[in-house]
Structures are given as structure tokens and as C-alpha cells.
Structure 1
Amino acid sequence: MSDLVMMRRAGLHVAETAAPVLGFTALFATTGRLPLSLAAGICLAALVALYRLRQARSVWPAAGGFALTAGAAAIAALSGQAADFFLPVLVARATVVALTPPLLVFGLPPAGLAAAVLTGRGLTWRRCPVRVRAYATANLAWFVVEGALVANQVRLYLAERAVAMGAFKLFVEVPAHLAMAALMWVIYRRLISRPCDGPDCTYHLRSV
């Protein structure tokens, strides 16, 4: 898989994960009925999973996305708090944000780790100093934006403002994530166009 295809899939993933949130937020904002809203979110998550399978993509993202939404709905149903629908994803995102600085220090930017999985190339990019710097720089830009987004969602979650969390995700986070995917791609492409002086880098100019 090329890096460009990977970035396109990242953008598609952002749009797909927004669908259950849209269904949940719209119904809860208009009806105030938590069970009905949770059911809408689960139904849309199931439709997204089926769409992913019909596109001949791996079963794991489809099953994982549905399981995450179903788990979030179960937590919200048990607690009776609509804001808990957003809790699992919020915890996961906050964890990634917290782990990003130490990973960058050790030369393992999360963007590079994700690329290793999505492209099937493994960690061979670590042999290329240019790619290491490109992933780290792009990841640093992501870290600043994602940290601000997560901090705001934590504030809304503590205030139990479920509708505001959903609206913020749909109208602020989704555009921000799409813009960040494009920005990270531009940063990455500009940086890897530079000459590579890594003695063990055997693929830098061949795979860009």
C-alpha cells in the first residue's frame, strides 16, 4: 500500500467513525431518549461495518469499529449518562496523546508505527533518517492539535454535556482531523524529498 493510499484511508476512516456519533447525537438532541439514541448509534455502526466488508477491506477494522460503538453504548446504558457514549474513544485518544512525547523521544512516532501496520512494511522506515524526521515532524503537528481537541472533550465530558461533545466531534474534530491528515501528508512528502544519508537506508527514493 502506498503512503498516499494510506492517507486516503485515514481520511475515510475519520468520516466512517463519525456516522454513529451523528446518529446518536442527532436523536439525543431532539428526543432526549438515551436508549433510542444508543440504538441509532449501534445501527449506524453496523451499517459502517457492512460497508467496510463490502469494500473488501479487512474484517478486523469493521468488527473493531462496531465492537467499540457497542461497548460505548453498553457503558452509557449501564451508567445512564449519555456522555459515557464517548468515554472509550476519549480514553483511547487521551492515551495516545499522553504516549506521543515519550515515543517521539525514543524515535517511534505513532504515525510511523501506524504506517508500519497499514503499509505492511514494518519498521524498515527506521533505517532512513529522513523518514524518521518526517514522521516525527508530522506527528508533532498532530500532537498539538489532537491534544487541544482531547482537552476540550474532557472538559465537556466532566460537565456531562453529551450533545455538545457530539456536536464538537462532528463540526470541529472531523474537519480538524481531515485537515491534519492533509497537512501531515504535505509535511511528510516535503521532508522525504530530501537526500538520505542513512547507510542502512535501501529504499528511501524507491518507495516515495
Structure 2
Amino acid sequence: MSDLVLMRKAGQHIAETAAPVLGFTLVYATTNRLPLALTAGLALAAVAAVYRFSQARSLLPAAGGFALTAGAAAITALSGEAADFFLPVLILRATVVLLTPIMLLLRWPPVGLAAGVLLGRGLAWRRCPARLRAYTVANLVWVVAEGALVANQVRLYLADRAMAMGAFKLLVEVPVHVLLAVLMWVIYRRLTRRPCDCHQVRENHQGERP
């Protein structure tokens, strides 16, 4: 998979994730009708799910994204609080941010795991010290920025500012995530400029044994 294709996939993922929030926020802001806003969010989530399935030919990513939005809509309908539409994704993001430092200490950077799945290379990158270091550094940049974004969304959620949460996600988080994707790609490319011969790495380690 080329770098251009990888960046395009990252951009598509960001757009597909933001689509239900866009529909919900715009409709609720203009009509102040929660059922109509939830319908708009679910409709765009369904469109994104169909598109994901048609592109990836895999049911799990498409169904997972729609199920998350459907769960958020169900919680919001039961509570009657618009801010609850953002709660499931917020909990998921906060959990990932909290677990990332532990994963980094264990030398399992989540960015590397995601890239292995996306590129179809599995865990081969862990046998290459340069790639492991590159994913770790990129993940450090991501967790700092994502932690700040999540903290702000938690603050807005506790203040019950649903429209502010939607606006912040669309106007701030989406551009920041795009910039993060580009920055992490640049970091990875710079730190893996020299090819990593994993077979040679293993041979060197074996030669050092007494």
C-alpha cells in the first residue's frame, strides 16, 4: 500500500466518523428537535457504513461504526439529553488515551497495531527496531494531542453543552486529526528512512551470543 493510499484511507476514516456528528449537530442546532437530529445522525451513519462495506468488503468495520452511533442514539433517546449522543465515543476515546501509556511501556504502541491491520502486515513491524521506535514516537505525539482534545470534550459534556461538543469536534478535532495523521506519517517516514533488514537484526543478535 502506497503512502498516498494510506493517507487517503486515514482521511476517509476521519470523514466517515465525523459525518453522523455533522448531521446530528446541524439538525439539532437548526430545529432543536432531538428525534429529528438523531434520525439525521443515524442516516449518515448508515450511509458511512454502506460506503465502508463497499470499499473494504468487510462487515465488521462497517457494522462497528454504525452500532456505536446507534448505541449513542439509543442512550440519548432514553435520557433526553443531547450531550449523551457524544458519550459512547467519548468513553471509548478516553479509554484508549488512558491505556496508551501502558501499551507504550509494554512496547505495543496502538498506532503500530492499527497500521499493521490497515496495511495487512500484522505484527511484522515489531521485529524491526526502527519501525517500533517510529511508531512509539508517533504514538507519543498522538496521545498528547488526543488527551487534550478528550479533556476538553469531557469538560463540555459535564457542562451539558451538546452544541459546543459538536462544533468543537467538527471545527477543531477534525482539522487536528488530519494534521496529526500527516505529522505521524512524517515522523514515521523520517525515522524509517533506512530500510530495516529484520533477518540481519536476528543474525546480529545470534552472533553476539557466547
Maintained 8 Å contact 1:110/1:139: yes
* Residue of structure 2 in register with 1:204 after alignment: none
Q: What amino acid maps onto 2:176 in structure 1?
A: A
Q: Does 1:97 align with 2:94?
A: no
* Residue of structure 2 in register with 1:200 after alignment: 202
Of stretches 57-66 and 84-93 in structure 1, the one that deviates more from structure 2 is 57-66
Query: In structure 2, how many angstroms separate the alpha carbons of the residues matched to 1:190 and 1:97?
Result: 25
**SS of the residue aligned with 1:55?**
helix
Maintained 8 Å contact 1:97/1:147: yes
Query: In structure 2, how many angstroms separate the alpha carbons of the residues matched to 1:200 and 1:5?
Result: 31
Structure 1 residues 107-129: Cα deviation after superposition (integer angstroms, max 9, x where no partner): 11110111122222111111110
* Residue of structure 1 in register with 2:15 after alignment: 15
Q: What amino acid maps onto 2:99 in structure 1?
A: L
Query: In structure 2, how many angstroms separate the alpha carbons of the residues matched to 1:58 and 1:50?
Result: 10
* Residue of structure 2 in register with 1:205 after alignment: none
Structure 1 residues 54-100: Cα deviation after superposition (integer angstroms, max 9, x where no partner): 33542221111111111100011111111110011100100110011
* Residue of structure 1 in register with 2:206 after alignment: none
Q: Does 1:156 align with 2:177?
A: no
User: Which structure 2 residue ranges, 5 or more long, are not aligned?
Assistant: 204-210
Query: In structure 2, how many angstroms separate the alpha carbons of the residues matched to 1:163 and 1:23?
Result: 12
* Residue of structure 1 in register with 2:83 after alignment: 83
Q: What amino acid maps onto 2:158 in structure 1?
A: L
* Residue of structure 2 in register with 1:167 after alignment: 167
Q: What amino acid maps onto 1:193 in structure 2?
A: R
Query: In structure 1, how many angstroms separate the alpha carbons of the residues matched to 2:166 and 2:56?
Result: 29
Q: What amino acid maps onto 2:122 in structure 1?
A: G
Maintained 8 Å contact 1:103/1:109: yes
Q: What amino acid maps onto 2:125 in structure 1?
A: W
Greater helix proportion? 2
More contact order relative to length (CA 8 Å, sep ≥ 6): 1
Query: In structure 2, how many angstroms separate the alpha carbons of the residues matched to 1:62 and 1:56?
Result: 9
Structure 1 residues 131-170: Cα deviation after superposition (integer angstroms, max 9, x where no partner): 0100000111111110100000000000111100000000
Query: In structure 2, how many angstroms separate the alpha carbons of the residues matched to 1:181 and 1:52?
Result: 19
TM-score (norm 2): 0.90
* Residue of structure 2 in register with 1:181 after alignment: 181
**SS of the residue aligned with 2:107?**
coil
Maintained 8 Å contact 1:129/1:197: no
Maintained 8 Å contact 1:2/1:119: no
Maintained 8 Å contact 1:3/1:119: no
Query: In structure 1, how many angstroms separate the alpha carbons of the residues matched to 2:124 and 2:53?
Result: 29
Instruction: Tell which structure's C-alpha radius of gyration is larger.
Output: 2
- Equivalent residue runs for 1:15-164 within 5 Å: 15-164=15-164
The number of residue pairs the alignment matches comes to: 201
